[in-house]
Structure 1
Amino acid sequence: MPQAVAVLGGGIIGLSCAFEAARRGMRVTLIEPGGLGGQASGAAAGMLAPFSENTEQPDDFFQLCLNSLRLYPEWIRAVEELSGMSAEWVQSGSINVVMHEADILPIESRLRWQNEWGAAAQLIDAAQLQRLEPMLSTAAVAGVYTPGESHVYAPKLVSALESACRKLGVEMLEHAGDIEEVQAHPSGGASVRAKALDQPVHADRLVVCAGAWTGAYERWFGLTIPIHPIRGQICSFEHPANEVRHMVFSSQAYWVGKRNDRLVCGASEDVAGFETNVTERGIGRLIRSSSRLFPFLERKETMHRWAGLRPATRDGLPLIGRVEGIGPVILAAGHYRNGILLSPVTAAAVADLLEEKTSVVSLNAFAPNRFSYIEK
């Protein structure tokens, strides 16, 4: 009899874990209190940019991100082939814009260590920058061009994963309502009771991928799960596809051109509990940054404004691994703004744990119980 696995949470991480477990022959039930991909996943810009977003050192988190980027080609091909849907994976490369000469020296140090890890990045001058991105402000003095970074269209990736999961036989219980009880026994076996379900879901193993809501389950596991929501506000402008050719990063924001003729700009972040409304202050900062870096956007109206809740941990690192003392429970949460990028490696690591194999990557730095030890 194949192992029965319950996945709690239907965002990008939950869907990815369900997909990988089902691919390996497990019987999977996914439980989502609301709609699939409804928070951080659906709101994300879909950037796969471990070099642009990790600029300090090649620590454990950077290596996790880089490993996931390397898994993406095979992983997304499997998702697209099984679902018959495109996730609009665009291998655009990225440009980090430099506005001041004084910023060039520290960038050279960053390039040295990143290129040792395969970035193939190069510092380009103002003339080269204008050739690569003609729409950029001429005030930019230089840039870092990283050819291997890319992006997907997050809503389509979520839809493709959902379809792939269904075709693999995953039972999808969305709109299950509030989780009322989770029981996990050290000797094995777990069950989840949700308000809108007629009966509890029983499984051999439970994978918790509840994003910003994961902290609500700590009372059932007897450990500290310090995950809190960070509201990320994003906007988009109508703009012909491919006129902004790369993902563009500045110290204030980022811009990603999508195939639906939208230029996405993000993200303004703040702590607002579980509020998902957008604010004039948050979106206004993005509009001002856009006008400075892309003059053609000055006085241009946004086409869409939205926000998602990003699950942040106290130390900025995700929680991935077994819950010590509770054999059948695995956590995969707290990915903050990197859930799209980290989906393949997280799913592979969780599936390895379910099969009791050595994980595809070292998970020591991401142990779910690490905060319990700190507080003792």
Structure 2
Amino acid sequence: MKRQTIVVGGGVIGLLSAYGLAAGGVPVTLIDASDTGTEASWAGGGIVSPLYPWRYSAAVTALAHWSQDYYPGLGEVLKQQSGVDPEVHETGLYWLDLEDEDHALAWAQREGRALHRVHMKEVHAAVPALGDGFAKAVYMPGVANVRNPRLLQAMRGALAQMPNVRIVERCPVHGFVREGQRILGVQTALGEMRAEQVVVAAGAWSGNLIARLGLELPVRPMKGQMILFKCAEDFLPSMVLAKRRYAIPRRDGHILVGSTLEDVGFDKTPTEDALESLRATAIDLLPGLADAKVIKHWAGLRPASPEGIPYIGAVPGYEGLWLNCGHFRNGLVLAPASCQLLAELMLGRAPCIDPSPYAPVGRL
């Protein structure tokens, strides 16, 4: 018989962890302090790639490559199950004026990923809205973005139809139910909830929760702010990225521009300074946006971790306690592989990738 499991956190990692476990026959209770899908997963841009994939460790690369290949099929399955299209939108991605272009190209050749130099004339022909102030570019075809609010709606909708899943929202988790070194559930605003296994997938709040056990999990919030424009559907045919800022087109003409990186604790208040900085970036990248109105401005809290390597696996010394957190800027990118790996470990199946770089043992 599959062991009753509580998943704490209703972002992309929590939702997809619950989905994978439930698909394996596990009875799952998903608990979120607010409504599911309303924190960092909702706030991100949804690029299905790390911003600069060649600058990450092999551990992040392994998760990213597995997930990138998996996303199109996942989008279709979730659309069929929920009736909500996550809009996995393949546009390709241009990086402009890279300082480490040679390193990027060498990484792509080594990893077998398509990435090549493109003359600026070709870039302007492909992206007519692009500004003139750029000297060189590299392009990766096939890179997608996912419309993350719809992805989250689709995942919640799919979970709601699974008979072995219970979703509990607006229910903060304050601690754990323990018997010695065994975890038997969680303490919540609605009282004690028991289960044989608990998965902490609470994003930037995971470290605070694990601290209730006297453990130090180095996952902390890093604020990121974004802005949104509405343009013609053909205004921006591809994603573009320069100086750590990016513009992402949605199919209906919405353009996301982001993002900031701010170490300000759990404050996610949008600021006027960030709005002006992001708008200046947007106009530098795409001068036509000077006449466009910013229709939305928001902030989210990324779960920062050392080197951006998530914690996935059992917590040593605490039987029944598991982690799937600390994905930093890449939660949406890495979610399919991270959650597949967690489900395989918990179900005793052969893992899709080597789990050792993500194991909590030796890292807490």
Question: Normalized against structure 1, the TM-score is what?
Answer: 0.91
CA distance in 1: counterparts of 2:262 and 2:82, whole angstroms:
36
Per-residue Cα deviation, 1:224-260 (whole angstroms, up to 9, x for no partner): 1111111100001121123211111111410001134
Which position in structure 1 is the counterpart of 2:69? 70
Q: In structure 1, what is the equivalent of residue 111 of structure 2?
A: 117
Larger CA deviation: 352-361 vs 301-310: 352-361
Match of 2:137 in 1: 143
User: Counterparts in 2 of 1:327-342, with a 5 A limit?
Assistant: 327-342=319-334
Report whether the alignment pairs 1:5 with 2:5.
yes
Supply the distance in 1 between the matched residues of 2:174 and 2:223 (Cα, whole angstroms). 26
Give secondary structure in 1 for the equivalent of 2:36. coil
SS of residue matched to 1:48? coil
Give runs of aligned pairs for residues 234-249 of structure 1, distance below 5 A.
234-249=226-241
Residue equivalent to 2:304: 312
Using the TM superposition, give the Cα deviation of residue 189 of structure 1 relative to its aligned residue in structure 2, in angstroms.
Answer: 5.5
Q: How many angstroms apart in 1 are the aligned matches of 2:270 and 2:90?
A: 30
* Residues in 2 aligned to 1:12 and 1:57: alpha-carbon distance in whole angstroms: 21
Q: Which moved more, 1:6-15 or 1:320-329?
A: 320-329
- The answer on whether the counterparts of 1:189 and 1:202 sit within 8 Å (CA) in structure 2 is no
Separation in 1, partners of 2:322, 2:162: 21
| Contact kept? 1:58, 1:113, Cα under 8 Å | no
Equivalences, count: 363
Matched, 1:15 2:15: yes
Shift in Å, 1:187: 7.6
Residue 222 of structure 1 and its aligned partner are, at CA, apart by: 3.7
Q: Distance in 2 between matches of 1:324 and 1:286?
A: 43
Paired residue for 2:160? 166
- Amino acid in the other structure paired with 2:357: A
Where 1:305 maps in the other structure, the secondary structure is strand
- Equivalent in the alignment of 1:273: 265
Equivalence map 1:22-41=2 (5 Å)? 22-41=22-41
Per-residue deviation at 1:152? 0.6
Q: CA separation in 2, counterparts of 1:263 and 1:330?
A: 37
**Matched residues in 2 for 1:58 and 1:325: separation?**
28
Correspondences of 1:196-345 after superposition (within 5 Å): 197=190, 199-298=191-290, 300-345=292-337
Q: Which residue of 1 aligns with 2:120?
A: 126
Kept after mapping to 2: 8 A contact 1:221/1:326: no
Q: d(CA) in 2 for partners of 1:211 and 1:23? A: 23
- Closer/same/farther in 2, CA of residues 163 and 219 from structure 1, 3 Å limit: same
**Whole-Å Cα distance in 2 between the matches of residues 162 and 231 of structure 1?**
25
Secondary structure at 1:55 match in 2: helix
Aligned residues of 1:47 and 1:150 also touching (Cα < 8 A): yes
Residue matched to 1:84: 83
Aligned in 2, Cα 1:313/1:189: closer, same or farther, shift over 3 Å? closer
Contact 2:231 2:292 survives alignment (8 Å): no
Match of 2:338 in 1: 346
* Residues 206-215 or 271-280, more deviating: 271-280
Letter in 2 for 1:94: L
Task: Indicate if the aligned counterparts of 1:2 and 1:27 stay in contact, CA closer than 8 A.
Answer: yes
State the SS of the aligned residue for 1:35: coil
Runs of at least 4 residues of structure 1 off by over 3 A?
A: 184-189, 219-222, 369-372
Residues 228 and 297 in structure 2, CA contact (< 8 A), matched pair in contact too: yes
Q: Determine if contact 1:17/1:351 at 8 Å carries over to the other structure.
A: yes
Q: Report the alpha carbon displacement of residue 116 of structure 1 after superposing the two structures with TM.
A: 3.0
Give the Å deviation of 1:185. 4.9
Task: Give the superposition deviation at 1:122.
Answer: 1.2
Which 10-residue stretch deviates more, 178-187 or 250-259?
178-187
Any stretches of 5+ residues in structure 1 without a counterpart?
A: none
Write the letter of the residue equivalent to 2:342: V
How many percent identity over aligned positions?
28
**Over aligned residues, Cα RMSD in angstroms?**
1.9
The superposition leaves residues 284-309 of structure 1 with CA deviations (integer Å, 9 ceiling, x where unpaired) of 11111111121112253311100011
Structural mapping, 1:356-371, within 5 Å: 356-371=348-363
Query: What is the letter of the counterpart of residue 131 of structure 1?
Result: A
Measure the CA separation in 2 of the matches of 1:247 and 1:359: 33
Name the CA distance, whole Å, in 2 between partners of 1:184 and 1:132: 59
1:180 and 1:120 map into 2 onto residues whose CA distance is: 46
Residues 154-191 of structure 1 show CA distances to partners (whole Å, capped at 9, x for unaligned) of 10000000000111131000011x32331245786521
Alignment gaps of 5+ in structure 2:
none
Please say which of residues 130-139 and 12-21 is displaced more in the overlay. Answer: 130-139
Q: CA deviation at 1:351?
A: 0.5
Give the one of 134, 155, 158 matched to 2:149: 155
Give the aligned residue type for 1:240.
A
**Would you say the 8 A contact 2:67–2:334 is kept in 1?**
yes
Q: Are the aligned partners of 2:56 and 2:307 in contact in 1 as well (CA < 8 Å)?
A: no
Amino acid at match of 2:91: S
8 Å Cα contact 1:185-1:326 kept in structure 2: no
